[in-house]
C-alpha cells in the first residue's frame, strides 16, 4: 500500500464536494454513516455526537463499533433516519471538517 498524505496508510478523506450532487436515495430513508479514526476511549461518543448535531439524539442500539486487527483504529457505524439530502450532506461536511475523523463512508 502506498503512503498516504496523512502518513498512516489511510487514503485522504473525500471532500464534501466529491459526493455526487444527485442522490438516488428516496427520503425519508434509513442511512448508515461509517466513521473511522484513531482508537480512543471516547471516539464512539465523538462520532455519534457529530452525526447527532444534524439528526438529533441517536439511540445506543443504532450504533456499532469495531476495532482494527491491531487495535490502532476504530470504525463506528451510526444508523439514522434522514429526512433529506441536505441532512446527509450536512453530516458529511461535519465529518470532513473534524480532525479526529480519518475516513468516512
Greatest C-alpha distance within the chain: 39
pTM, to two decimals: 0.81
pLDDT at 10: 72
Question: Smallest Cα–Cα separation from 39: which of 68, 14, 12, 8?
Answer: 68
Neighbours of 42 (CB within 10 A): 9
User: If pLDDT is split at 50, 70 and 90, which confidence band does 15 have?
Assistant: confident
> What average pLDDT does range 17-38 have in this prediction?
86
Q: Which three cell numbers stand for residue 17?
A: 464536494
- Compute the residue count for the chain: 105
What percent of the chain is modeled with pLDDT above 90? 76
Amino acid at each position: 500500500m502506498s503512503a498516504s498524505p496523512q502518513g498512516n496508510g489511510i487514503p485522504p478523506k473525500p471532500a464534501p464536494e466529491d459526493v455526487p450532487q444527485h442522490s438516488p436515495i428516496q427520503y425519508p430513508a434509513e442511512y448508515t454513516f461509517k466513521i473511522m479514526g484513531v482508537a480512543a476511549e471516547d471516539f464512539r461518543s465523538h462520532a455519534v455526537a457529530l452525526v447527532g448535531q444534524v439528526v438529533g439524539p441517536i439511540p445506543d442500539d443504532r450504533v456499532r463499533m469495531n476495532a482494527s486487527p491491531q487495535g490502532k483504529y476504530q470504525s463506528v457505524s451510526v444508523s439514522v433516519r434522514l429526512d433529506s439530502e441536505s441532512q446527509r450532506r450536512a453530516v458529511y461536511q461535519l465529518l470532513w471538517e473534524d480532525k479526529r475523523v480519518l475516513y468516512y463512508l
